[in-house]
Amino acid sequence: MSGEKELVARFLEEAGIEIDGPNRWDIQVHNERFYKRVLADQSLGLGESYMEGWWDCPSVDEFICRVLKNRTYTKIKGGWRIYLSLASDRFYNRQSLKRSRKVADQHYSLDNDLYMSFLDPYNQYSCAFFQNGESLSEAQRAKLDLICRKLALEDRHRVLDIGCGWGGWARYAARNYGCSVLGINICDEQIRYARKAAQGLPVRIEHRDYRDLNDRFDRIVSVGMFEHVGWKNYRTFMEIAHRSLEDDGVFLLQTIGKNETQPGEDPWIAKYIFPNSYLPSAAQIARAAEGLFVMEDWHNLGPHYEKTLLCWHENFQEAWPRLSRKYDERFKRMWDYYLLSCAGAFRAREIQLWQVVLSKTGIPQPPCRPDAGRTTEAAAGA
């Protein structure tokens, strides 16, 4: 056994993983260069070698979960490319107005048919809200309504949807709560789809960066967009949201987040899936909102995202015979790894999904109503 293989085997054994073992979370290695590559490039090498067929695993999600729970990645000293990437995050604003288009061009501008093949009818590319064993479509509808209820939406409200995706939440809110919605986005493919899907509803979709906002709204919602804002821009984002919100308004922010503040993002995700992305910590969100907003509610839906991703992956597998006419096997392995590794990360609770409700001066609460049914004796004994 080579030194590299012996070292990787020892790290994996600590996580309960056996190379070429019998369990569904054990990896089957097909190329001996795998070990040197993983030791040199860590997460990037692990994902790229999977894309290239150097290893397989019956349950990639459980493999990743075990690696993360054991914090195996902290025990491997990375190569120079890892440190160069982290250093560049310190000095450059990867989510500047110019650079922010990269993720839209590389990821969100892929053929809409790809996304529609695994998403629900409301095209929700974010965490669903599972409660009682319902389907993905039902759970996504529950998430849409949960957001509307947290915002206390009424038909008189003008609503801003920052990073509206394919416009699913805007359509749901307008149709079911009667409000008018402005959705802003910088992805041309999504904008075209959203405009067509929202015809006949009080929904307007505009190609606009959040930094170009100059109007005020009764409610603001942003779902799955804050991951692309970048930590250097968090305060600017919050200041713009504050400026754009009416004094008695409510702002709901939904974002994936990390348990710890870290200098950079996962190198494989940043290269192949979400370039220039960055997951915030709770501390970073709180600091960015400090002095601007009252924190009304902080809800962790992280466990629901694992199930959402597994549903997406199952739908993706069913659609692959049709999608394979457009995409090659390497693309499929990339998407398999993306969906399953993220599911594993949520299962390990390495990353979270937060819904944060913010207001400018506090949301008034209804007055306390005395309980007329209580007797004097019951009241005295309370």
DSSP 279: P
CA distance 240 to 212: 9
Q: Please name the helix (run of DSSP H) or strand (run of DSSP E) that holds residue 250, with its range, or none.
A: strand 245-258
Query: Encoding tokens for residue 245?
Result: 């919100």
* Cα–Cα nearest to 308, from 346, 334, 255: 346
Residue 340 is encoded by which pair of tokens?
């399953």
Sheet holding 217-223, edge to edge: 203-207, 180-185, 158-162, 217-223, 245-258, 351-359, 294-300
**Residue in 217, 136, 157, 152 with CA at minimum distance from that of residue 184:** 217
- Do 228 and 276 meet the contact criterion of CB atoms below 8 Å apart? yes
Output DSSP code: residue 196. Answer: H
DSSP designation for 104: I
Please give the angle made by the CA atoms of 156, 161 and 164, to the nearest 5 degrees: 135
Using DSSP's 3-state secondary structure scheme, residue 184 falls into strand
What does DSSP say about strands 351-359 and 28-29: parallel, antiparallel, or unpaired?
unpaired
With the CA atoms of 286, 290, 294 and 295 taken in that order, what torsion angle do they form, in degrees rounded to the nearest 10? Answer: 10
Helix (H) or strand (E) holding 296: strand 294-300
What are phi and psi for residue 351, nearest 5 degrees? Answer: -130, 160
Element spanning 156, H or E: none
Decide: 26 and 16 in contact? Cβ < 8 Å: no
Which residue of the set 127, 164, 342, 368 is catalytic?
Answer: 342
For the question of residue 342 being annotated catalytic, the response is: yes
Q: Name every residue whose Cβ is closer than 8 Å to that of residue 45 and which is 6 or more positions away in sequence.
A: 37, 38, 39
**Cα–Cα distance between 170 and 152 in angstroms, integer?**
15
Active site residues: 342
